[in-house]
Structure 1
Amino acid sequence: MQSVRFPRSRAEAIACDAEDPLAEARAHFNLPDDVTYLVGHSLGPPAMSALEALRRVGEHDWATGLVGSWNAAGWIDLPTVVGARVARLIGVPPTAVSVCDSVSINLFKLAGALLSSGTVARRIIVENGEFPTDQYILERLSTLQQADFVRADPGAGLDSLSGGGILVRSLVDYRTAAIADVKAVEQAAQRQGAVVIWDLSHATGIVDLRLEAWGARYAVGCSYKYLNGGPGAPAFLYVHPDHVDVLQTPLAGWLGHARPFAFEPTYDPADGVSRFVAGTPPILSLATFNGALDVFDGLSLRHLHDKAQALGDLCLAAFDRLGLETSSPPIGHPRGGHVTLRHPDGYAISRALAEQGYQTDFRPRDTIRFGMSPLFLRYVDVWDMSEALEDILLTRAYEDPRFAVKSKVT
């Protein structure tokens, strides 16, 4: 358990905001005055540095530099330049990360490369509670590679490692926000001759990650949640330098070639993790993501996680006071950057909150997720949201039929 202080009154919330070492980070975001944004775990808001980078790359580099900007503006090197900045946030060497493609494609490439390497048993293991895209990609890959596909019960992935293979696991559960014990999982996998690919999508930018120190060798992750890279921003891929040179990506793309501008007819992989770059980097979104990372310069990852914990504890205390159910780790226990409320009318409640300016998201069947992004959320914001939630429940305002109408994106 952790002993992170959280406020017990609105006055204490205001006092915590006054003492917050991250308080100045809020000024980097231009959020609407009438919105409390509790969805940073799903899509982070734009930092002004990200929007400025987008304007610069569009209006200057592309508009005036044209094709010459691949050299003059350093576009060609962005996957590794931005990868080095991500590497600091996940605790690995700066040359071990490349920013490219999507989480789904990176997972396909990395798991496929491991299956073909001959270094692990041809088995892929995924738990039924994992994020859906991970399950879909891995099942299809196992079919294409004629590898065994094992669906484990939630929490039982490690029990399936006795036969070796590849376990894919989220470091932070996308529904509950429970945090995996990376070091223990890695040690268990290595005893069985197995490997783990970590999905860091709900962990990067919110958890004080130390992957190399914990023994993690492979990971993928997205950039549009706590890293605020923008909708559809490119993902990243990590391979420990000691293992990368034996891996061959199943998607051998042009810019993963050792000499892409030699235009050779056969594939020769680039050194290091750059071999996993498949297609042309999406420069507009990659440059935007690079600008978003400016917000993290000089910040302590421990401060980020501590504040997220305290905000989450504050929210959970309100749920407890109101007699509400959560599936998240309880107050004082480590978790990622969101907390959950379970209610049979969860969707309608989330819509009623949104009407009052408190944006959340909903996951079937009954889960509202509240993102506790520490860069821009204040303690008083979470306190006021809890009071709005109490009023919605007491008045049963969520029973208005308009709140039951579902949008495509929830």
Structure 2
Amino acid sequence: MSEPTTPEITVTGTAGPGPAVSALAAKAAELDAADELAACRDLFAIDDTVYLDGNSLGALPRHVPARMQEVITREWGALRIRSWEESGWWTAPERVGDRIAPLVGAAPGTVVVGDSTSVNVFKALVAAVRTAGPDRDEVLVDATTFPTDGYIADSAARMTGRRLVPYTPGDPIGPRAAAVLINHVDYRTGRLHDLPALTAQAHMAGAMTVWDLCHSAGALPVGLAEHGVDFAVGCTYKYLNGGPGSPAFLYVRPGLQPSFDSPLPGWNSHADPFGMTPEYTPATGAPRGRIGTPDILSMLALESALDVWDGVSIKAVRAKSLVLTDFFLECVRHLPVEQVTPQSHAERGSQVSLRCENAGAVMKELISRGVVGDFRQPDVLRFGFTPLYVGFGDALRAARVLGEVLG
């Protein structure tokens, strides 16, 4: 941690902003004026809070409540069971998957939406191990991964008779590796891992890849098809703004779909789901990733929320994200904090993590003053920058309030 100094951007008492804060304010105004995504902010229910927790729960798109009112009163209330066909409920998992596909660089028919991220990690990882064959007895999992991924990887390894091996992205991958589970962006630090290089490394070793995209889907280009990723999963309630607990997605590479052996075969993934036969015959394509009856209310809220992406380029989102996080880091550079998130654009997701003393108490105070981020044990402040609704003025205000709290 750096030695405490008088924060350059702190404003206290009745004193006006000094030269440094004036220059930053002018820069923020200039960047906001040139922001091609600025109009997207009006699509969200955003108040005067600086909301920097979209990497945990995305903001509500304004039009979603009206859509859900229609779903509840007409599709469920009036049409009832008829809505499975007349309102398109039955095909929603694949239809919504096709809307997410361009945001993660996938082809139509390769993404299905449903279940939680945890369930989809289990499906993908076990299928990857089964695909790799019996001679490969190691399951590699990112040692710094989100805890649930580690728990599931451990269970999947035990259930398939494999051995769990902690793995640091970039370490050598041996000839016994069946599958490698990696988080695209580290949830604590915001570090972006090199998906193309690590996927190629795993394939050179003969291992299958399973990527967790929870902190990258909707924040930056992923390129699943371009880089030959085998399996990928991700949540939809962060940068995709699908709502609390909205269903996750599962990607299966086209060449693997015919052999995708799900450990959770359900009636919804049957080739003839209404045949009710005792024998299981898997469906073809993305529906093979389904299990049981989909959560229609959450599914349709997500589908509606994805409307905010109409006409939006994920490359433009990434470009703004990098400038936005650069600007925030510039604003906080004189504060008594340690930067945890990598400085390099190639290694940075869409969040900034800072380390400071009493971080939990600091975050509580920030929230009480209208700057919402979050805290991770033991001493990390996380600030998620969602380019569709966070501006440069927001970043400056967050830095100023952080300076006041730390000062």
For 1:310, the aligned partner's letter is: V
In structure 1, C-alpha distance between the alignment counterparts of 2:156 and 2:230, rounded to whole Å: 20
Aligned: 1:75 with 2:79: no
Contact in 2 for aligned 1:52/1:291 (Cα 8 Å): no
Partner of 1:296: 309
Match of 1:50 in 2: 64
Cα distance in structure 1, aligned partners of 2:274 and 2:324:
50
Q: Structure 2, unaligned stretches of length 5 or more? A: 1-21
Aligned-residue sequence identity (percent) comes to: 36
Moved more, 330-339 or 368-377: 330-339
Partner of 1:32: 47
Which of 117, 123, 126 in structure 2 is aligned with 1:109? 123
User: Which residue, out of 149, 170, 184, partners 2:164?
Assistant: 149
Aligned-residue Cα RMSD (Å) equals: 1.5
CA distance in 1, matches of 2:365, 2:266: 47
Pair 1:165 & 2:170 matched = no
Matched, 1:256 2:298: no
1:178 paired to 2:188: no
* AA matched with 2:283: A
Q: Given the alignment, which residue of 124, 131, 135 partners 2:150?
A: 135
The reply on whether 1:317 has 2:325 as its aligned counterpart is no
- Which residue of structure 2 lines up, in the alignment, with residue 404 of structure 1? none
Deviations 1:325-347 (A, max 9, x none): 01101165541111001012111
Provide the secondary structure at the position in 1 that maps to 2:225.
helix
Residue 38 of structure 2 corresponds to: 23
Q: Which protein is richer in helix relative to its size? A: 1
Measure, in 2, the Cα distance between the counterparts of 1:337 and 1:19.
Answer: 20
**Partners of 2:23 and 2:286 in 1: CA distance:** 47
Kept in 2, the 8 Å contact 1:50–1:229? The answer is no
Q: Is the 8 A contact 1:316 1:331 kept in 2?
A: no
- The answer to whether the 8 A contact 2:173-2:201 is kept is no
In the alignment, the residues of structure 2 paired with residue 58 and residue 276 of structure 1 have an alpha-carbon distance, to the nearest angstrom, of 27
1:100 aligns with 2:114: yes
Aligned residues: 385
What code does the residue aligned with 2:201 have? Answer: A
Alignment partner of 1:124 is 2:139 = yes
**Which shifted more, 110-119 or 253-262?**
110-119
- Deviation for aligned residue 1:199: 0.3
| Higher mean C-alpha displacement, 231-240 vs 187-196 | 187-196
User: What does the per-residue CA deviation read over 1:348-383, in whole Å, with 9 as the maximum and x for residues that have no partner?
Assistant: 110110010001101111101001111111100110
**Residue matched to 1:3:** none
Identify unmatched segments of 5+ residues in structure 1. Answer: 1-6, 395-410
8 Å Cα contact 1:50/1:290 also seen in 2: no
Which of the numbers 377, 387, 391 marks the counterpart of 1:378? 391
Q: Which moved more, 1:19-28 or 1:108-117?
A: 108-117
Relative to the length of structure 1, the TM-score reads 0.91
Distance 2:319 2:66 in 1: 29
Q: Rate the CA distance shift 1:11–1:197 in 2: closer, same or farther, 3 A.
A: same
1:13 lines up with 2:13 in the alignment? no
Paired residue for 1:281? 294
CA deviations 1:191-238 (Å, max 9, x no partner) are: 111111000000000112211112212100000000000000000000
2:209·2:230 contact (CA, 8 Å) conserved in 1? yes
